[in-house]
């Protein structure tokens, strides 16, 4: 499997770790990233495609979050995010979040490859319908039921699919596992406020 990232030097060919179950065909995909979306808290975020080696498969839109190896704290945050996805996938609640392709690394960077779920939201009130906002709150409740606090609720961490209109929470780099809350904890209240449900 090759792994291409703009400006990152030689392709990464060593798949260190599959996160959770992941697609069974991941070893037959070439990841090609050709568009920088943003500079995230951890590092740059690129968009691209996962292209099957066989001509019968279809390419899929993916994003990669990167942390340079010389930034130890950012690398730990990215590895932590991968662990949160793994934890949720083991509980079979990954459907509400982007699908994970894997975590890989070389001496230059660590990268987490995820399903591309759509464009970032800027204004929750103007860009999301009541139905989308209620669905997002349900997803947040599901995370809490699984013992995960998102940890960084804001409009920037919501994306919307151009094709389906499905809104999704992203970025679990600040998430906390083994969270136990009463019926409605501070984050759930903050979620209702962010999503204009009060």
pTM: 0.82
**What whole-number distance in Å separates Cα of residue 4 and Cα of residue 108?**
13
To which residue do tokens 């839109």 refer? 61
Which of 96, 115, 134 is where one domain is finished? 115
Q: What are phi and psi of 33, to 5 degrees?
A: -115, 125
139 and 100 co-located in one domain: no
Q: What is the pLDDT of residue 150?
A: 96
CATH of the domain at 55: 3.30.200.20
Write the burial class of residue 142 (CB in 10 Å: 0-12 exposed, 13-18 middle, 19+ buried): middle
44 and 134 co-located in one domain: no
**Residue 133 domain boundaries:** 119-194
| Low-confidence winner among 93-97, 133-137, 160-164, 171-175 (lowest mean pLDDT) | 93-97
Q: What is the pLDDT of residue 55?
A: 58
127 and 89 co-located in one domain: no
**What whole-number distance in Å separates Cα of residue 12 and Cα of residue 101?**
15
22 and 109 co-located in one domain: yes
Alpha-helix residue ranges (DSSP H) falling in 47-112:
72-90
Average the pLDDT over 5-19 and give the result. Answer: 47
95 and 126 co-located in one domain: no
Residue 46 and residue 36 in contact, taking contact as beta carbons nearer than 8 Å: yes
Q: In angstroms, how far apart are the furthest CA atoms of the chain?
A: 51
Q: What is the pLDDT of residue 21?
A: 44
145 and 172 co-located in one domain: yes
Residue 13's pLDDT band (cuts 50, 70, 90): very low
**What whole-number distance in Å separates Cα of residue 184 and Cα of residue 22?**
32
Residue 104 and residue 3 in contact, taking contact as beta carbons nearer than 8 Å: yes
């Amino acid at each position: 499997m090759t792994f291409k990232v703009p400006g990152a030097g030689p392709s990464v060919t060593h798949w260190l770790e599959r996160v959770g179950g992941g697609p069974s065909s991941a070893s037959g995909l070439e990841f090609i990233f050709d568009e920088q979306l943003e500079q995230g808290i951890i590092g740059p975020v690129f968009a691209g495609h996962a292209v099957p080696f066989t001509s019968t498969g279809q390419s899929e839109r993916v994003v990669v979050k990167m942390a340079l190896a010389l930034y130890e704290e950012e690398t730990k945050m990215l590895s932590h995010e991968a662990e949160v996805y793994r934890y949720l996938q083991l509980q079979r609640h990954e459907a509400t979040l982007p699908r994970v392709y894997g975590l890989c690394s070389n001496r230059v960077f660590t990268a987490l490859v995820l399903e591309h779920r759509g464009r970032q939201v800027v204004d929750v009130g103007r860009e999301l319908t009541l139905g989308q906002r209620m669905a997002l709150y349900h997803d947040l409740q599901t995370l809490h039921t699984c013992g995960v606090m998102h940890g960084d609720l804001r409009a920037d961490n919501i994306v919307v699919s151009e094709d389906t209109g499905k809104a999704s929470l992203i970025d679990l780099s600040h998430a906390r596992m083994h969270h136990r809350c009463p019926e409605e904890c501070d984050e759930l209240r903050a979620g209702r406020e962010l999503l204009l449900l009060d």
